A = this chain, B = another copy of it.
Amino acid sequence: MTPEKPRKVQQSLAALLAPDILDLLESEPGTVAAETEDLHPADLADVVEVLPRSQIPVFLSAIPAQRAAAVLEYLEEDLRTDVLEHMSAEQAAALVAAMTPDDRADTLEDIEESHAENIVEALPAETRRNTEQLLLYPPESAGGLMTTELVSVPASYTVEETLRRVREIARGGRREAMNVVYTIDANGCLAGVLSLRELLAAPEGARMADVAWSEVRKVAVTADREEVAELISEYDLVAIPVVDEKHRVLGVVTFDDVIDVIEEEQTEDVQKLGGMDALDQPYMQMGIGALIKKRAPWLAVLIVLQMFTTSALQRFDSALTALPILVLFIPLVMSGGGNSGSQATSLITRAMALKEVELSDWWRVAMRELPTGLVLGVILGAIAALRIVLGQWGFDQGWVLFGEPLGYDYSDDGLAPWGLVATNVFVSLAAIVTFGSMAGSMLPFVLRRLGFDPASASAPFVATLVDVMGIIIYFSVAIVILGKFM
């Protein structure tokens, strides 16, 4: 099981290993722990995922609780929940107790409530108190992300005393958040931070108060997880301490949890940009009914908005009756605006997510999108007009391919000159693409100003707005340019 292999190969290796483990479980269950001890818990989790459901608890009880807990932490959420829900509260508590506090709280949050309560009841007293406290924090907050295992020492400690303490804790078998040491002042408040490496480099007799960094990045326990992710990412931190309003350390969020947060937030943004509610589970694990519930409401809202195109067309039906040729370019003109709007909204929502663009930048963005949209509109308008010119030329020449006429009479059987029809398409496209770029770039600002997620300015939402406006622009231009033929 080499790490260079792509995940797919790893999974098939897991499939290869699983039968051996099943055999061992039956013939010599006592050897399973030793046979698998070289595997990383993440790899062992891959193996567990391909075992028959009934054998998973058997396997987990055949390896040490600490390792079984680590394997559970790497398991797919749904499977982990399912496995624990089908154990007795006591069995589950034994496994859950060996987890890191943050994963323990996350795991319990997924489990059916009354069973989760029974598991918590069955935890050892201190673990139970600690878990109950972590469960109070909302999962989207720093408190919900943090683990309570960390190393802190009084600022009055010497480097030597601190090293001794670190050794003690490390030998106690704790696993997380141990790359830094925090110092605490006489009032119990966070005073400083020192990495293990800096601790090793410091003179043994020095006081921690003198060698630790007093400028400590920290977050409030109520802070949103996105803020935590930003700080870890901006300052390249291995971990960030979480404090209460009196600056007492409650826990620490580590970089690996933040990587997960960044990926989850990004998934939400992509799904919202695609025009739906963010899914709360991986796509393949969602039931089709649940999937429809996330997608249908947005589609329904969009189609109701889109009905304004029907109303707009109803309004222009005399123009359409007089010049049927106008129908041909409705989809073309609408989609040009929708596409440029989709580009603009993707650019701006992403730039907002990365904090490259702030609310106050709306005017600068508008002043960039206006000329950009205009140039793009002129390019698209020219392409569309060229097509009309070429089509008319083909018609005039009577070109035929495989028995079908290659050209088309864009003068609409003599109703209006094709040159003006082409001009109409050119001007409309230039105007609509400009409008699309503006609408697509400004909508995220408007939504954010109103307190919504800017990513809700989805590509389909922008396209729908632009479609309605597109029809109005197209026919208004037509009335000006081709009015005398109507």
Q: Measuring CB to CB, which residues of chain A are less than 8 angstroms from any residue of chain B? A: 3-4, 6-8, 38-40, 42, 163, 166-167, 170-171, 178-179, 195-198, 200-201, 214-215, 217-220, 223, 227, 230-236, 238, 240, 255-256, 258-260, 262-263, 266-267, 269-271, 273-276, 279, 282-284, 288, 291-292, 295-296, 298-300, 302-304, 306-307, 309-310, 313-314, 317, 320-321, 324, 327-332, 334-336, 338-340, 342-343, 345-351, 354-358, 360-361, 364-365, 368, 371-372, 375-376, 379-380, 383-384, 387, 408, 433, 458-460, 463-464, 467, 471
Contact indicator A275/B4 (Cβ below 8 Å): no
Contact indicator A343/B275 (Cβ below 8 Å): yes
Contact indicator B329/A299 (Cβ below 8 Å): no
Contact indicator B215/A40 (Cβ below 8 Å): yes
Contact indicator B340/A295 (Cβ below 8 Å): yes
Contact indicator A354/B263 (Cβ below 8 Å): yes
Known: A299-B336, A310-B332, A314-B328. Contact between A282 and B356, CB under 8 A?
yes
* Closest B residue, CB atoms, query A305: B335
Residues of chain B with a CB closer than 8 A to A238's CB: 179, 238, 255
* Least Cβ–Cβ distance between A339 and chain B, in angstroms: 4
* Closest B residue, CB atoms, query A405: B314
Q: What are 9 A-B interface contacts by the 8 Å CB criterion?
A: A273-B346, A273-B459, A276-B346, A282-B354, A284-B368, A292-B375, A295-B340, A304-B383, A306-B332
A42 touches which of B40, B235, B298 (Cβ 8 Å): B235
Copies of this protein in the assembly total: 2
A383 touches which of B303, B321, B467 (Cβ 8 Å): B303
Contact indicator B270/A463 (Cβ below 8 Å): no
Contact indicator B295/A167 (Cβ below 8 Å): no
Contact indicator B380/A300 (Cβ below 8 Å): yes
Contact indicator A331/B332 (Cβ below 8 Å): no
Contact indicator A309/B338 (Cβ below 8 Å): no
Residues of chain B with a CB closer than 8 A to A273's CB: 270, 273-274, 346, 459
Residues of chain B with a CB closer than 8 A to A327's CB: 313, 320, 327, 330
Contact indicator B314/A274 (Cβ below 8 Å): no
Contact indicator B232/A299 (Cβ below 8 Å): no
Known contacts A4-B220, A267-B350, A321-B324; 16 additional CB pairs below 8 A are A7-B234, A166-B200, A167-B200, A178-B195, A232-B259, A238-B255, A255-B259, A262-B266, A271-B347, A279-B347, A284-B357, A324-B324, A331-B471, A334-B334, A335-B463, A339-B460
* Least Cβ–Cβ distance between A192 and chain B, in angstroms: 12
Known: A3-B218, A334-B331. Contact between A307 and B387, CB under 8 A?
yes
Residues of chain B with a CB closer than 8 A to A348's CB: 283
Known: A233-B263, A259-B262, A321-B324. Contact between A346 and B7, CB under 8 A?
no
Contact indicator A4/B219 (Cβ below 8 Å): yes
* Closest B residue, CB atoms, query A433: B299
A235 touches which of B40, B303, B306, B350 (Cβ 8 Å): B40
Known: A274-B343, A309-B332, A327-B327. Contact between A4 and B201, CB under 8 A?
no
| Residue of A178, A196, A230, A310 with most chain B CB atoms under a 10 A cut-off | A310
* Least Cβ–Cβ distance between A223 and chain B, in angstroms: 7
- Roughly how many angstroms separate A379 CA and B198 CA in the complex, as a whole number? 63
Known: A166-B200, A263-B233. Contact between A335 and B3, CB under 8 A?
no
Residues of chain B with a CB closer than 8 A to A288's CB: 368, 371-372, 375
* Closest B residue, CB atoms, query A214: B38
- Roughly how many angstroms separate A284 CA and B170 CA in the complex, as a whole number? 47
- Roughly how many angstroms separate A298 CA and B338 CA in the complex, as a whole number? 13
Closest 10 CB pairs of A and B: A274-B346, A170-B201, A236-B256, A309-B331, A339-B460, A3-B217, A459-B459, A178-B197, A283-B351, A196-B196
A328 touches which of B269, B313, B328, B342 (Cβ 8 Å): B313
Residues of chain B with a CB closer than 8 A to A235's CB: 3, 40, 42
- Roughly how many angstroms separate A42 CA and B282 CA in the complex, as a whole number? 35
Contact indicator B258/A299 (Cβ below 8 Å): no
